[in-house]
């Protein structure tokens, strides 16, 4: 029996067989964010299957996710969509705006180009000067 003990001297846990719906419910209630869902996926193969499901990952995608933001080719799962949108900016409005998801919270983030903004006296050289930069889009 000594060989069955873990390094810390505890009895090893047997793989618990719970219905998938129960695991989904537990993960959806306990996973406060994407990181928690990824941690839950490390528990066991059953938890991984539940934690990688579209049910869990749709909770981390904003409801107002615009169809323009969805990358091509379309992702195979909600988790893949989340990871792609949090890993790279999606260009919108002809490149004058970009959007991405915050990896920690799942919140939509936007970056607007200065030329897309209505800057007061932006076309008046006395008040504003556009300086072109080669390393800028």
C-beta separation of 97 from 68 below 8 A: no
| Structure-derived torsion over alpha carbons of residues 44, 49, 52, 56, reported in degrees to the nearest 10 | -100
C-beta separation of 57 from 82 below 8 A: yes
For residue 13, pLDDT beyond 60: no
Supply the DSSP symbol for 72. S
97 phi and psi angles, rounded to 5 deg: -145, 150
For residue 31, pLDDT beyond 80: no
Domain boundaries, the chain: 1-60, 64-137
The residue with tokens 């719970």 is 18
Q: How large is the average pLDDT for residues 21-30?
A: 82
The string of pLDDT tens digits covering residues 36-92 is 888 888 888 888 888 888 988 988 888 877 676 777 788 899 999 999 888 888 888
Is the pTM higher than 0.85? The answer reads no
């Amino acid at each position: 029996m000594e060989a069955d003990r873990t390094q810390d001297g505890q009895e090893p846990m047997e793989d618990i067989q719970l219905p998938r719906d129960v695991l989904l419910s537990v993960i959806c209630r306990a996973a406060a964010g994407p990181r928690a869902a990824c941690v839950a996926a490390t528990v066991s193969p059953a938890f991984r299957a539940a934690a990688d499901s579209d049910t869990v990952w749709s909770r981390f995608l904003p409801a107002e996710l615009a169809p323009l933001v969805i990358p091509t080719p379309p992702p195979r799962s909600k988790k893949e969509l989340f990871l792609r949108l949090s890993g790279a900016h999606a260009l919108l409005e002809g490149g004058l705006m970009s959007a991405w998801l915050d990896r920690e919270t799942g919140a939509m983030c936007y970056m607007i180009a200065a030329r897309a903004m209505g800057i007061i006296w932006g076309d008046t050289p006395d008040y504003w000067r556009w300086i072109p930069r080669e390393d800028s889009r």
